[in-house]
Structure 1
Amino acid sequence: MSEIDLKKRRLLQLAGVWGAAGIVGGATPFISSLTPNRSARLQGMPIEVDLSTMKVGDQRTIMWRGKPIWVVKRPASVVSSLTGLDRLLSDPESKVEQQPSYAQNLHRSIRPDYLVLIGICTHLGCSPTYRPEKGSIDPEWPGGFFCSCHGSKFDMAGRVFSGVPAPTNLEVPPHHFLDDNTLVVGSESSSE
C-alpha cells in the first residue's frame, strides 16, 4: 500500500476551493445582468396620479411601463350617452378580455366619472387623439378617440366602433382609487 502524500492532497483541495471561488466570481456578474436594474424596476411599479386639478372634460396623459395612460374626467352627460351607441360598436359589452373585471361594465371604469385607458390603438399600436367634441370627425361622431393613422374610432369608454381596422376595445390598465383625488395605476385594490 502506498503512502498518502498530504502536501499534494492539500494542494488539490486548495485548487478546488480556488476553482469554485472563480466560478462563483464569474457567474455573479452574469446572473446580476439577468435581473432588471433599478430604473427598470421603478418603471413597473404602480404610480399615483393627483386628480384634484382635473376639470370635467379634461384628459391627462401619464407614462406607466413605457405606455401612455389616459385619464379622462367625463361629464355625467357623456356617461349617460354611452348606452345609445351599442348598435355602432364591435364589442359594446367588453366581452373580449383586455380589461380588469371591475371595468367590464358600460362605462369600462371603476368610477363612471373617470376613464382610465392605455392610449395605444389595438390595430397597429398608434396613439389615437382625444376628440370629445360631437361631430368633430363626421356629423355622426359622438365624441371619443380617433386614430388618424388608419381611421379607427373609439367611444368615450374606449369601445371600438364597427367597421374600423382596430379589432378590439382600448385596453384598461390595472388601477384603483386611494381616495377621491388619488388614482393608482399599476395595481388593483384588494377591495375591488
Structure 2
Amino acid sequence: MMPESFNVPPDQRRIYYRVALKMLALLGVAMLAYVMLSGVLGDPDDDGGQSGGRSVDISDLAPGEVKAMTWEGRPIWIVGRTPEMLEADAAFSDQLYDADSRLSRQPRDYRNSHRSASPEVLVVVALGTDLACELTWVPPEVASEEGWGGGFVDRCRGSRYDLSGRVYRDQHARRNLEVPNYRLLPDDRLILGQTP
C-alpha cells in the first residue's frame, strides 16, 4: 500500500506540474528582466571600460607608493616611482629576459625603458604572466638585501619582475607584466581603457 501523499489523482498531479512549470517560467522571465534593466539602468560610473574608461585620481600617489584597484575584473596597480627606482631598473637591466619589452602586452607608445607614459608612474595588471597569480610588491629597500632591485614577485611560483614589470631571466614566467591601455592627463588623472 502506498502512503497517502502518493495517492494524488492524475488530474491533480497535472495541475501541480502546470503550476510549477508556470512559476519556473515566471522566475526565468523575472531574471531576464532584471539582467536587462540592470544593464540599462546600471551605475553610469561603472562602464566596464567600454565607453571611455575609468578615471583615476593619482594626485595623492606618493613616490614609492602603490595604489591598488580592480578594473574589468582584474587587479591594477599604479606605482609612483622615484628616481632611485628608475636607477635600480637600469642597474639590473642586463638580468632581464625581455628588457626591450618586445614580447610584452602593452600600448605601443609605452614600449620604452620605463614601460609607461611617464617615468614616475607605472600602471600594470597585477597578475603573474605564467599562471595569473597575484603579485607581492617588494620595495627596493627590501629587495637590495636579497640582491635585486625590487619590484614584483609572483605568489605562486616566485617569478620576479623589476620596477617596470619586466621579468628577470631564469624565472617560470616568460613575459613581462601586462600594461593596460591608459592615458595620462595633465591634471594628475589617468583614464584606464583609453589608448594613449
Number of aligned pairs?
Answer: 159
1:80 corresponds to 2:87: yes
Corresponding residue of 2:48: 43
2:172 pairs, out of 140, 162, 165, with: 165
What is the TM-score when the length of structure 2 is the normalising length? 0.73
Work out the CA distance in 2 between the residues paired with 1:137 and 1:148.
Answer: 19
In the TM superposition, structure 1's runs of 4+ consecutive aligned residues that sit over 2 Å from their partners are 36-41, 133-139
Q: Which moved more, 1:76-85 or 1:61-70?
A: 76-85
- The answer for unaligned runs of 5 or more in structure 1 is 1-29
Work out the CA distance in 2 between the residues paired with 1:151 and 1:75.
Answer: 25
Q: 1:133: how far off?
A: 3.1
RMSD of aligned C-alpha atoms? Answer: 2.5
Letter in 2 for 1:49: V
Give the secondary structure class of the aligned counterpart of 2:75. Answer: strand
1:174 pairs, out of 165, 181, 185, with: 181
Rg larger in structure = 1
- The answer for unaligned runs of 5 or more in structure 2 is 1-31
Q: 1:182: how far off?
A: 0.5
Q: Give the conservation status (yes or no) of the 8 Å contact 2:152–2:163.
A: yes
Q: Which moved more, 1:139-148 or 1:155-164?
A: 139-148
1:96 corresponds to 2:103: yes
Q: 1:178: how far off?
A: 2.0
Q: Give the conservation status (yes or no) of the 8 Å contact 2:136–2:153.
A: yes
CA distances 1:3-22 after superposition (whole Å, capped 9, x unpaired) = xxxxxxxxxxxxxxxxxxxx
Q: Which moved more, 1:125-134 or 1:164-173?
A: 125-134
CA distances 1:98-142 after superposition (whole Å, capped 9, x unpaired) = 111111110000100000001110010101111113344862121
Work out the CA distance in 2 between the residues paired with 1:75 and 1:148.
Answer: 25
What is the TM-score when the length of structure 1 is the normalising length? 0.75
* Percent identical: 32
CA distances 1:38-66 after superposition (whole Å, capped 9, x unpaired) = 55981133111111111111101111110
**1:1-192 matched pairs, under 5 angstroms:** 37-38=39-40, 42-45=47-50, 46-136=53-143, 139-189=146-196
Q: Give the conservation status (yes or no) of the 8 Å contact 2:154–2:160.
A: yes
Q: 1:77: how far off?
A: 1.5
